[in-house]
Amino acid sequence: MSSILIKNGRIVDENRDQTGDVLIRDGIIEKIADDISECADTVIDAAGKAVLPGLIDMHVHLRDPGYTYKEDILSGCEAAAAGGVTGIACMPNTSPVNDNPEVTEYILLRAKHAKARVYPIASITKRMFGDELTDFHQLKRAGAVGVSDDGKPVENGEKMAQALQNGALAGLLPISHCEDLSIIDGGIINKGAVSEQLGVKGMDRLSEDSITEREISLAKRTGSPVHIAHVSTKGAIEAIRRAKSEGVPVTCETCPHYFILTEQELLKRDADYRMNPPLREESDRAAIEAAVLDGTIDCIVTDHAPHSAEEKRDFEKAPNGVVGLETSLAATLTALVHTGKMDLQQLCRLMSGNPARLLKVPGGRISEGEVADLTIVDLGEQWTVVPEKLHSKSKNTVFKGKNLIGKVKMTLLRGNIVFED
C-alpha cells in the first residue's frame, strides 16, 4: 500500500479553503486534517502553496488517431499534467472519427498509461456528416462520456433535437459547436473593424448567436440537456442567461482567451491568434468575463487545438485553433483571481467541480474517499510563456511571451506524482 502525505498546504476546492494536511493511500484521499502525524512513504511540504483538485478540461483535441504529428494522447496528457489538468474530454474529429466503439476503445487503451484521465467524446453523427445519428447507447458502453460534432454544428435541427433526446436516454451529454457555416461562408476572423483593416473575410457573430438560440429552443422543446461549447459572443451569453432563468436545461463553457483577449491581437497577422470561434470585440470579452463571474458560464475549458508550425505559417490559409492545456490555470489566476474578481473556490468550481458533474466522472473536489487527483500550485510565482518549453507537440499558444502569475509545481494522478517542476 503506497502512501503520500501532503503537509501544510492551503487546501482549496469549491467547498473548502483551509490550511492543513492531506493523507493519500492507494490513490484515494484517506484523511484531511489540520495536522496529520501518521507515517507515509512520501512526504510533500506544500507550505506556501495551494493544493487544488486536479483540473478537468472538458474540451480538448488530442488529434489521436490520425493527426499525431500535431499531438497524440500521451503528449497531450503530458501537457495536461504540466498545467495541473488531470482529466481530459477529447473531441471526436479525428481520423477515423470517433463514431464507433472501436475508436472509443482505442483511445481508452492508448490512455491507459497516460499522465491524465482521458474521457472520449464520441460524435453525434456518423463520420460527422450530419445526416445519421451514431448509436449513443453502444458508445456509452464503450466508454464515451458525451457526444459532439465539434468543429461544426449538426445543421439539421430535427436531427439535433433527436440527439438531445437520445443523449438524455443514454446518459451522454450533447455538446454543441454553435456556428452556422452558411453565415460564416469562409470567414477566418471576427467580422468587424479588424477584419476590414486587414482586408480578410470576417465571421459574422450571427453565426454563433443563431445556432445558440436554436439549441436553447430544442432543449426547451425536448426537456433534454444541451451544453454549448466555447461561447464567445455577448449575444450568445445573453441568450443562455435568459434560458437558464427560464429553467431550460442548458449549460455552457468558455476559454481563457475569450475573457482575456480581443480581436486586436489579429492585427499582428499571426495565425496563432486564430481560433474557432474567433477572438471578438471588447464588448464581447467583457460580457464573457461577467458571465464567468456571475455563474452563467459553467466551465472554463481550453479547446486545446494543436497545429504544426508549418500549418500555422500562413495567416490566411492556416487552420483555426490554439493550444491551452499548460496555460489555462495560470491565465485564469492572472486575469481573474489575482485581480480580485474571483476567489479560488469559484475557480475550482469552474475548472474542476462543474466539469466533473456534467461529465459524471471522478474528481472535482478534495474530500475523504475521493480520488487523489490533485495539483499543487505556487499562486505567486511569475513565469513567462515560452512556446518552445511547452510539453505539447504543437506550440500555437495565444499567451506566448505573456507573463502569468501562478505556477503548477506538482500534479498527482491516482495518488502518483505525474509532474514536478
Contact predicate 211/184, CB 8 Å:
no
Residue 219 exposure: Cα atoms within 13 Å on the Cβ side: 25
Q: State the residue for C-alpha cell 475521493.
A: 370
Active-site annotation holder among 303, 314, 378, 421: 303
Contact predicate 288/243, CB 8 Å:
no
* Closest-CA residue to 393 (of 61, 58, 54): 61
Report d(CA 3, CA 25) in Å as an integer: 4
Contact predicate 412/54, CB 8 Å:
yes
| Beta strand segments in 199-324, E | 202-203, 226-228, 250-254, 299-300
Residue 303 annotated among the catalytic residues of the structure: yes
Beta partners for 6? Answer: 22, 44
Grid coordinates in use for 197?
483593416
Contact predicate 291/377, CB 8 Å:
no
- Classify 256 as helix, strand or coil: helix
The set of catalytic residues is: 303
